[in-house]
Structure 1
Amino acid sequence: MASDVLLQHLDYLLALAAERHFGRAAARCHVSQPTLSVAIRRLERDLGIVIVQRGRRFEGFTEEGKRVVAWAQRIIAERDEMLADLERMHGRLTATARLGAIPTAVPASPFITAEFLRRNPAASVRIEALSSREIARRLADFEIDAGLTYLDDEAPPGTRSVQMYREQYVLVAPADHRLMAEPEVTWVDAADLELCVLTTTMRNRRILDANMAAEGIRYRPAVEADSVDALYAHLTHSGRATIASTAWLPQLGVPPDFAARPMVKHGPSPAIGLVVLDRAPASIVAAALVAVAEGIDLGARIDAAARSL
């Protein structure tokens, strides 16, 4: 078995694993499809195994191929860390910080990214809205550097975290609705409204459902969406409402002619935090994000925004 595997070939393999299509993988790597195909075959020849199941199109990876993909993810991650470490030694960081955030935490993410970019002006940031489960998978596969997610029983194993705030809930509804005159809104009363909520793949939705179930309520949402922006879009010029996290308020506020009132609490408020892989040596980019998270009192900023409404 040859030992001179080219890192570029591993890059091509990871692009194929991400796209699951030779043409799209080639476009992602800015090469022709024949160039990518030849590189994958060269990798197979060097390793003495079949990596890709081929038919008329890409059909998946062999068992050995899946193992190679897993190793390639680790090897390429270590290469990127080496380059980032060398940049840091020269007093700058030019890497792209890849942050996955649950939809309800996306509006709060600018507090983190703004400080990260202030400290690392040559760097950049890429944010993806992901479910808590997808964040766990992508962290394990080295596809993101950190996740902004729930710190509960669904938190990814093999990680370390920094708690940033606790998720509090408010009912956002038309300002002239009778419930907006109440100091707090019960889940029973909220269930009677035409609610816009996230989909059941999102942890936030499962928390809301559990709070409803705790009061014996079965409700049927009027609108389900996979992003906070979509929920807000369906509030405008309608009589609908949503149960929002207070973390949305600093950036998104409350729509015109709407108001927000606290929901009655059910047990401890869910903790949200920054999660990174717990490995040595630590990721340079992840360590930079953790340093930012540890220096920000995000909970206080969110609470202040909620009190100002």
Structure 2
Amino acid sequence: MIDKLEMFLAVAKEGHFGRAARTLGITQPSLSAGIKQLEESLGVLLIFRGSRYGGLTPEGQSALVWARRIVGDARQLKDEMRATRHGLSGRLRIAVVPTALTWAARLAARYGEAHPNVGFTILSRSSVQILQMIEDLQVDAGISYLDNEPLGKVSAVPLYDESYALVAPRDHPLAGQASVAWSALDGQRLCLLTPDMQNRRIINRRLTDAGVSPLAMVESNSTVVLVSQVLAGGWLTILPQDIAGFLTQGKPLSLMPMEGEGPGHAVGLIAPWREPHTPVLEALLTEARRMVR
């Protein structure tokens, strides 16, 4: 039954039988047969389909909630039994907002010292994607904003409060100042994260509040691209101070704090709400709390 539920979850996520089959590493006929067997076992039609995928039936929508819960519980059972026999092992999948990737690396390094048999897959994603990936069981945890937009029911460990810095070439008129007012960015050539990123929405609000139109002629979902654009000359970008300091280290760039910083938005580790968590995930939450202390 569990393997059939895994098939159902894959089809619901991909919205396409062919892509779901490739994700699972099986043939499309095998996938279709598995879904049909699941429907026969439950006595309901789960997916509308003719020549192509037609979406979930009302019964399929209800079954999706149960499937996520059952598959999640089955994975937790396997993890707990493996931990009982061999100690913590396996792989943790974490989706992270781009501005928090340095924190993800630190957390993985500290965790790896204590539990060397656990591997990590760290993915850079938007805050909206992170929540969806956690819900779809695609990742085990995320690092994202905690207090700026709704999270739903998750376990959370606050890691830090975000503060912002301007990154500029050393020969730029704003370079070398003790701090820079948001209003001073009016008319400047800005490169910023794409609008789907929560950090960009925060920056937009700060600029708008200062009377500056939040227009960026260059946008990217990569902080590396933004700093590279500044290195190319004449451009400015605004990033959280931690990632900005890491990316500008050893480069001919100036880093200036932004003025008028109130309490920054909290960023933290989030995980599906589940009691108890798997041993591997509980150890990750514990390590995050130790980092903060």
CA contact (8 A) 1:100 1:147 kept: yes
* 2:38 paired with 1:43: yes
Aligned to 2:79: 84
* 2:203 paired with 1:208: yes
Find the aligned partners of 2:245 and 2:253 in 1 and give their Cα distance: 16
Deviates more, 1:253-262 or 1:160-169: 253-262
Q: Quote how far apart the aligned CAs of 1:284 are.
A: 2.6
CA contact (8 A) 1:26 1:32 kept: yes
Match of 1:227 among 222, 225, 228: 222
* 2:22 paired with 1:27: yes
Find the aligned partners of 2:260 and 2:121 in 1 and give their Cα distance: 34
Aligned to 2:52: 57
- Give the letter aligned to residue 84 of structure 1: D
CA contact (8 A) 1:184 1:263 kept: yes
User: Structure 1 residues 54 and 278 mapped into 2: Cα distance closer, same or farther (>3 Å)?
Assistant: closer
CA contact (8 A) 2:13 2:136 kept: no
String of CA shifts for 1:165-222, please: whole Å, max 9, x gaps: 1111111011011211210011111233211111222111111111112222223212
Aligned to 1:293: 288
What's the TM-score once normalised by structure 2's chain length? 0.93
- Give the secondary-structure state (helix, strand or coil) at the position aligned to 1:296: helix
Q: Quote how far apart the aligned CAs of 1:252 are.
A: 2.2
String of CA shifts for 1:81-104, please: whole Å, max 9, x gaps: 111111221242223212121121
Q: Which runs of 5+ in 2 are unaligned?
A: none
Aligned to 1:102: 97
Match of 1:253 among 239, 248, 257: 248
* 2:236 paired with 1:241: yes
* 2:29 paired with 1:15: no
What's the TM-score once normalised by structure 1's chain length? 0.88
Match of 2:176 among 178, 181, 185: 181
Q: Quote how far apart the aligned CAs of 1:255 are.
A: 6.9
Find the aligned partners of 2:220 and 2:148 in 1 and give their Cα distance: 24
Q: Which runs of 5+ in 1 are unaligned?
A: 1-5, 299-309
Q: Quote how far apart the aligned CAs of 1:68 are.
A: 1.5
CA contact (8 A) 2:176 2:254 kept: no
Find the aligned partners of 1:181 and 1:114 in 2 and give their Cα distance: 34
* 2:275 paired with 1:283: no
Aligned to 2:212: 217
Match of 2:124 among 126, 129, 135: 129
CA contact (8 A) 2:165 2:244 kept: no
* 2:167 paired with 1:165: no
User: Structure 1 residues 98 and 22 mapped into 2: Cα distance closer, same or farther (>3 Å)?
Assistant: same
- Give the secondary-structure state (helix, strand or coil) at the position aligned to 2:144: strand
Find the aligned partners of 2:132 and 2:253 in 1 and give their Cα distance: 38
Deviates more, 1:51-60 or 1:89-98: 89-98
CA contact (8 A) 1:97 1:124 kept: yes
- Give the letter aligned to residue 74 of structure 1: R
Find the aligned partners of 2:278 and 2:186 in 1 and give their Cα distance: 45
Find the aligned partners of 1:95 and 1:69 in 2 and give their Cα distance: 26
CA contact (8 A) 2:126 2:196 kept: yes
Query: Alignment identity in percent?
Result: 32
Aligned to 1:306: none
- Give the letter aligned to residue 121 of structure 2: R
Q: Quote how far apart the aligned CAs of 1:124 are.
A: 1.6
- Give the secondary-structure state (helix, strand or coil) at the position aligned to 2:199: helix
CA contact (8 A) 1:26 1:33 kept: yes
User: Structure 1 residues 34 and 141 mapped into 2: Cα distance closer, same or farther (>3 Å)?
Assistant: closer
Find the aligned partners of 2:98 and 2:59 in 1 and give their Cα distance: 35
CA contact (8 A) 2:163 2:261 kept: no
RMSD value, Cα: 1.9
Q: Quote how far apart the aligned CAs of 1:45 are.
A: 0.9
Superposed, which structure 2 residues align to 1:255-274 within 5 Å? Answer: 256-274=251-269
Q: Quote how far apart the aligned CAs of 1:155 are.
A: 4.4
Aligned to 2:110: 115
